[in-house]
Homo-oligomer: A and B are copies of this chain.
Amino acid sequence: MHDTPTTTRTTTASIEPREFGVGGRITLSVMSDDYVDVILGALAATQSDGLTVETDRISTWVTGAEQDIARYFSGLVAAAARGGHHVVATVMLSRGCPGEVTCERPERPPVFADAAVQLAPTGVEAVAQWALYPLDDQGTPERTADHMRDIYAAIEDAKASGTYVGSDHYVTRLAGDVAAILQTITATWAAVGRTVAHVTTHATISVNSPSVALRAEDGR
């Protein structure tokens, strides 16, 4: 939680992603008696280049560049699901609250990379429920606050990417390759982060669900 006793703003010109709290958490749940082997195997098999990674007993925390986080999460979910097990990944991404207690941010959000997040397909199909939270929409020196503009833009991006399926209570439904879903989630979170200092996003991603006719149910 962004439980921040002090919220201050600096005008730092140069800042690294991890200094701005760019990172996320992922919990892999594997519906199988051998879940320990599957989860540890996926963690061991997935390259984490460029990232700081720490696994606690509930989730794996990562910090680093947006592209690297997206690639790592996509790789982890695909690796855990390749054996055919039903896997649920609980994913969150956060930016703008770097510390555990303090929440010191630059006056305007830093931009870390101009390149859009691009992930190679994994060949693993998934469905997801996704929510995006622009928390600190006080505006920047150039723009006034309007968090709905950012939400609309994110949904348009999801539609353009082909992962958007529909809206439901509190969430947007996505479907497609695990990589395409994580690309949508990460790219829209990063895009909102260009103008909003504190942004989080949550998604529950499901692979190999026994529910039948996934595409048919969604009209895809």
Q: Which residues of A come within 8 Å of B, CB atoms? A: 1-5, 7, 21, 23-25, 27, 29-33, 35-36, 56-59, 61, 63, 86, 88, 90, 92, 94, 97, 100-101, 127-133, 135, 147-148, 151-152, 154-155, 167-172, 200, 202, 204, 206, 209-211, 214, 217
- Asked if B214 contacts A57 (CB within 8 A), the reply is yes
Task: Check B204 against A1 for contact (C-beta < 8 Å).
Answer: no
Q: A29-B31, A135-B133 are in contact. Are A36 and B170 (CB under 8 A)?
A: no
Cβ-defined contact, B132 with A135, below 8 A = no
- Among B3, B32, B94, which residue has its beta carbon within 8 angstroms of that of A172? B3
The reply to whether B27 and A171 contact each other, CB–CB distance below 8 Å, is no
| Contact status A23-B169, CB under 8 Å | yes
Smallest beta-carbon distance A2→chain B, Å: 7
Contacts of A204 in B (CB 8 A): 25, 27, 58-59, 90
B168 touches A100 (CB 8 A): yes
Interface SS of A by simple majority: mixed
**A209 partner residues in chain B, CB cutoff 8 A:** 57-58
A135 to B21, CA, bound (A): 19
Residue contact B94 to A7, C-beta cutoff 8 Å:
no
Nearest-neighbor residue (CB-CB) of A38 within chain B: B31
Residues of chain B lying within 8 A (CB to CB) of residue A3: 151-152, 155, 167, 172
The distance from the CB of A13 to the nearest CB of chain B, in whole angstroms, is: 24
CB distance from A209 to the nearest CB of B (A): 5
Residue of B nearest to A63 (CB): B169
Decide yes or no: A129 and B171 within 8 Å by CB, A58-B204, A90-B204 being known contacts.
Answer: no
- Known interface pairs A3-B151, A57-B211, A90-B90; A170-B200 also in contact (CB < 8 Å): yes
A209 to B28 CA separation, bound complex (whole angstroms): 13
CB-defined contacts of A200 to chain B, threshold 8 Å: 131, 133, 170
Q: Is the CB of B127 within 8 A of A25?
A: no
- Could you say which residues of chain B place their CB within 8 Å of the CB of A214? 57
Q: Which B residues are in CB contact (< 8 Å) with A7?
A: 148
